[in-house]
Amino acid sequence: MNLDDLNKVAQAMVAPGKGILAADESSPTITKRFNAIGVTSTEESRRDYREMMFRATDAMTQYISGVILYDETIWQSARDGTPLIRLIEQAGAIPGIKVDEGTQPLPACSGELVTVGLDRLAERLNKYHAQGARFAKWRAVIDINAADRIPSMTAIGVNAHALGRYAALCQAAQIVPIVEPEVLMDGDHDIDRCLEVTTRVLNVTFQELRKQRVALEGMILKPNMAISGKKSARKAPVEEVAEKTVRMLKACVPAAVPGIAFLSGGQSDEEATAHLDAMNRMGNLPWKLTFSYGRALQAAPQKAWSGKPENVVAGQRALIHRARMNSLATRGAWSADLEEKAA
């Protein structure tokens, strides 16, 4: 492991004003999103959609530091025969790859899940590195359900262990790991319950990372924000989300970590941007705070594109707009008024 090189990649992933485009939806997930816009999901249509995004030059060169790819995408070529991974590199962004293989029910923990995919991961990482991937992503899913006393410490511990093992294997393959322990916002819990659970999850995750000798300088953290559940009776305001999330991170995340790239986790486009902006306005942070958004970057481009070749420019324009708004948020320079004027 060359830690200096890993740290250079990690620092580039959280470069000022830039963030990560999460384009790593599985085929079933992107099929659901295509169904919503009336597009049939095929290998060709998925390729065309992602090519449209990767050729959005202003977004890719100015606001996007890296792109998380799905296994299908990393091997695909554009219509003109250029490998999609080369389009990303030519724009100055870093190609990455999702390496977990989804979730399975966790035995003896009713309703809880464990992320799988460690088998043969070392072999797969070497192939991805040879193809050009320089970072990877592994998502652990932690649900909150007060009635069923979820999450259990078993679920938290098993998923944290897998994250640590994955991260160690990545660094051995000279790939920067994005460590993503996601506490879901699907329930009716309030922001304080999310804060409590996420604090526990982050603490256990970093214990596992240390146990497995993961170099913190050569990784990126991708957490959820401390936020109210979607069904909560009280939606926490932007300032409260920012204050409690930053307080949580300062208590749990060592300063050696180069940066934190938030997931959007079901927030609307503007909510995810506003929360990131409010956190960066607080200043005096030991790590860089940026975005690693999927739907919060892609919902508008998908709708504008709608699978039609004549809408490619409109789709790219929508991606550029969302990427620019989040770029401003990484500097604490976004505003709702600016959002409306730039739209």
pLDDT at 342 over 70: no
Question: How far is it, in rounded angstroms, from Cα 111 to Cα 142?
Answer: 10
Q: How many CA atoms lie within 13 A of 300 on its CB side?
A: 18
225-243: b (≥16 Cβ within 10 Å) or e: bbbbbeebeeebeeebbbb
Q: Identify the CA nearest to 97 among candidates 48, 169, 159.
A: 169
The rounded distance, in Å, linking the Cα atoms of 339 and 336 is: 5
Q: Which of 18, 222, 244, 288 is catalytic?
A: 222
Among 180, 182, 208, 339, the one annotated catalytic: 180
Cβ atoms of 339 and 270 within 8 Å: the answer is: yes
Query: Which residue carries 């995408």 as its tokens?
Result: 73
Instruction: Report DSSP state, residue 140.
Output: E
pLDDT value at 341 more than 70: no
pLDDT in tens, 83-130: 999 999 999 999 999 999 999 999 988 889 999 999 999 999 999 999
- Amino acid at site 60: M
What is the β-pairing status of strands 103-105 and 113-115?
Answer: antiparallel
What confidence score (pLDDT) does residue 343 get? 60
pLDDT of residue 337: 85
Instruction: Give SS3 for 330.
Output: helix
Lowest mean pLDDT among 229-233, 312-316, 321-325, 330-334: 229-233
Mean pLDDT across the stretch 294-323? 96
pLDDT level of residue 340 (50, 70, 90 thresholds): confident
**Span between the terminal Cα atoms of the chain, in Å:** 45
Q: Are strands 176-183 and 135-142 parallel, antiparallel or unpaired?
A: parallel
- Whose CA is closest to 154, among 187, 101, 186, 200? 200
Amino acid at 40: T
Residue 182 designated active-site? no
CB proximity list for 234: less than 8 A, separation 6 or greater: 190, 191, 228
176 vs 174: CA distance, rounded Å: 7
Indicate if 235 belongs to the active site: no
DSSP state of 263: -
Helices 312-330 and 43-54, interaxial angle, to 10°?
A: 50
Which pTM does this prediction carry?
0.96
Token pair in block for residue 343: 């739209």
Do the Cβ atoms of 325 and 15 come closer than 8 Å? no
Find the mean pLDDT for residues 322-340.
93
What's the CATH number of domain 3-342, 3.40.50.2000, 3.10.150.10, 3.20.20.70, 3.10.129.10? 3.20.20.70
Alpha-carbon torsion (239, 243, 246, 252), positive or negative: negative
Rounded Cα–Cα distance for residues 179 and 182 (Å):
10
Q: How far apart are CA 224 and CA 151, in angstroms?
A: 15
Structure tokens at 64: 């996007």
- Which 3 state secondary structure label does DSSP give 145? strand
